[in-house]
Chain A
Amino acid sequence: MRPIPIALLLTAACMAQNPHTTPEDVAAGAKIFRSHCADCHGLTGTGGKGPDLTTGVFYHGSSDTALLNNISDGIEGTAMPGQFFSPDQIWQVVAYVRTLAVKGSLKAPPGDRISGEQLFKTKGCVNCHLVKGQGGINGPDLSHIGSQRPAEAIRKSIVEPSAEVDMSYWQADIVLENGTPYKGILLNEDTYNVQMLHPAKGLLTLPKRDFRKFEIVKTSAMPSYQSHLQPAELNDLVAYLWTLQRPRRAE
């Protein structure tokens, strides 16, 4: 038997490629995932107690080797435990996790992004939405929306804002016993108080004992922009928002 150069061994160890990527491996990995990982990462990998695994980008390393090590050893300082699987089984899980990455957002949508950026500033979007430190705060920060949502979802949010409203933007509709109304983004609620971001008065804590009315509004405060934008303008705006990507971490 010929000795294998040590350098080659090291390279192999550092740059390991997943040897288990057949459809059968993916199916086996999916089974393990559902039994052992889905508790924290969700049945479809979209996250729960643990992070979303469908982004294809992993905070603690995105290479196959990093995934192998993190599944095998766990991640210190997080709730991610080490798992007692064989290396082959872990590779199968890695193969499955790779299939979870959201596809389709990688191709730029049609439209003129320069024109879209102008529309963003002139059509009122900027009054409520922050992009890279500029803009309003009554709607979600869109600085990285292109990494967070596929183009189709961005388009839908513009024409049909209430179709999908994140809990973080639900509104509290409150009337005090003295008749004063308050409506703003519901930031927090406990047994005694409600915290809100009021569009005019800013951050407020209101005591529940003074409430005459308290409703949680789960629709969006944003109006539909369907009638405010030509079809071409809508394309341009989506094209611009899609370019707002999160910087990739170096491996």
Chain B
Amino acid sequence: MKTLIFFAITGVLLCAQNDWSTYSGAYNGWRHSTLDQINRTNAGNLKVAWVYQMPITERIESTPLVVDGIMYLTEPPSNVVALDAETGRPYWRYRRSLPAKINVCCGQVNRGVAVSGDRVFVGTVDGHLVALHAKTGSVLWDVEVAEPKNGYSVTGAPLIVKDMVISGVSGGEYGVRGFLDAYDMKTGQRRWRFWTIPEPGQPGSESWKGDAWKHGGGPTWVTGSFDAEQNLIVWGTGNPSPDWNGDVRPGDNLYTDSAIALDADTGKLKWHYQFVPHDTHDWDAVQVPVLVDGDWQGQRRKLVYWAHRNGFFYVLDRTNGQFLLGKAFATQTWNGGFTKEGRPIRKPNIDPIPEGRYIWPGVQGATNWYSPSYSPQTGFFYLTAWENKGLYRKGDAEYIAGNRYIGSVPEIDLPEEPGWGAIRALNPKTGERVWEHKMHTKPWSGVLSTAGRLVFGSTGGWISREKVAMESYFFALDAESGKELWRINLGGTMASNPMSYSVKGKQYVVMPAGSGIFAFALP
């Protein structure tokens, strides 16, 4: 009996270590692997174990999941594949047929699936949420989350919370009204919906004028985190619509560009913190919330760490959303500080104007949707950061259902001054930088920390017709010093996040590049 209990406990532990069972690896959003077979002493020997190539033209943004030796991942636009995680050989593929017209702002992409028991869940670019049988890929249910003809799509990975599937929506460039949904895992029936843009009469509606709320944006396109102890879903919301012309939407525009915390059973708002009131720079709060129970000025508190697209690293109290810290992690020229309540003190002359205005960070931010990581060993917060400015122009914004509603033509990669990128380690107690690993390009990928005291990351750039700098190195850094220990040129666009898992006693690290999934292991 004792032995049985022992096995049961270690079994659970091993299970938790070997699998990568949810988008960020765990509910806390840490993107940290407890595996240490690959570590600082042997990372230099990493070799390609297998490659899975997809028949695609779109970018891979998917984080693969691995459960019991089977890898589940999405192929853009909205297909799902199950692979043997040891060999990369496919078991089955779910191929979604899509309508001819689908508008997704930035490519028909997908960031991954959610898995629970015998079910695999995927959001689709035509606005559906689909449950598949994990052993066959057969459709168990298929429900419409939102209508694509109104500019909605689903690109983010769903999150399993208890017996529910939580799904966000995309469409911030199409004037959608954002929301977050919970569906019954077994039936697909909707349990609740939280509108990120309140309707007149609801709390927060005073931050809107007229009918602007109807097309106010605030999408929820990156997977959030879950605090089981508090029964709290913590999620980020995107930009208000139209992005770069705020004239039609005076006010703070709640709950855009915010961290929102919802009661998991009811979907009711428990607290919120708005990073950018009345945003006119497309600085979505679509980062993975990193939930840590840690020291805050000598007291143990439930915290949220958040490195935002606007260039600031934030610490919030997870029980009430209280602002504790806001500290720039990259060059920024828009914010002169914070009020005691945590409201940014905007500098003058930062709104876009027709002839354009240079503001740091640029349109794609100082970081973006790709994941940060937290290591309990070093206590550092790791992220991909961009040093870049953008030319912000204000333009016409005319709402026509299903079409772009952005109010500008932003200039992202200034050819003469393209900016550069870095992996940075921050001390989350102060927001101070501990080290950085510089690179020539601006990466579009997140970071993974492991118990081998490693941080995996990649260089950046998208393949382009023009000679815009693009490089495809995947590398391992020493988590304590940032020293590069290993790298490989994978030769394709990297716009995803690394993850790690173990099968039959062997640890793998995975990074998508180009149209391939690359798995690395020790020889």
Binding site for B on A (CB under 8 A): 31-32, 34-36, 38-39, 42-43, 73-74, 77, 79, 81-85, 89, 167-168, 187-192
Contact = CB atoms under 8 A, between A and B. Distances in A.
B257 interface: no
A188 B438 CA distance: 18
Contact of B471 (A38, A84, A190): A190
B398 A32 contact: yes
Contacts of B467: 167-168, 187-188
Given A79-B107, A188-B467, A190-B473, A84 B396 contact: no
B349 interface: no
Contacts of A190: 440-441, 459, 469, 471, 473
User: Nearest 5 CB-CB pairs, A to B?
Assistant: A190-B471, A84-B402, A82-B101, A191-B439, A38-B409
27 contacts: A31-B396, A31-B398, A34-B396, A35-B396, A39-B410, A43-B393, A74-B101, A81-B101, A81-B102, A82-B101, A82-B103, A83-B403, A84-B101, A84-B403, A85-B400, A89-B400, A167-B415, A187-B467, A189-B440, A189-B469, A190-B441, A190-B471, A190-B473, A191-B438, A191-B439, A191-B459, A191-B473
Interface in B458-506: 459, 466-467, 469, 471, 473
Contacts of B415: 167
Interface of B: 57, 100-104, 107, 149, 393, 395-398, 400-407, 409-410, 415, 438-441, 459, 466-467, 469, 471, 473
A34 B245 CA distance: 13
B239 to A, nearest CB: 15
A79 B104 CA distance: 10
Contacts of A82: 100-101, 103
Contact of B441 (A38, A81, A85, A191): A191
Contacts of B410: 39
B344 to A, nearest CB: 27
A84 B102 CA distance: 10
B459 to A, nearest CB: 6
Nearest to B469: A189
A8 B379 CA distance: 75
A191 B461 CA distance: 12
Contact of A35 (B57, B101, B395, B466): B395
Nearest to A36: B404
A39 B401 contact: no
B230 to A, nearest CB: 41
B401 A84 contact: yes
Contact of B404 (A35, A73, A192): A35
A191 B440 contact: yes
Nearest to B473: A191
Given A36-B400, A84-B149, A190-B469, 6 more contacts: A34-B396, A35-B396, A36-B403, A168-B467, A191-B438, A191-B440
A74 B100 contact: yes
Contacts of A73: 100-101
B100 A35 contact: no
A80 to B, nearest CB: 11
A187 B466 CA distance: 11
Contacts of B103: 81-82, 84
A35 B406 contact: yes
Contact of B407 (A31, A35, A42, A83): A35
Given A31-B396, A191-B439, A39 B404 contact: yes
Nearest to B410: A39
A82 B104 CA distance: 11
B54 to A, nearest CB: 16
B363 to A, nearest CB: 11
Contacts of B101: 73-74, 81-82, 84
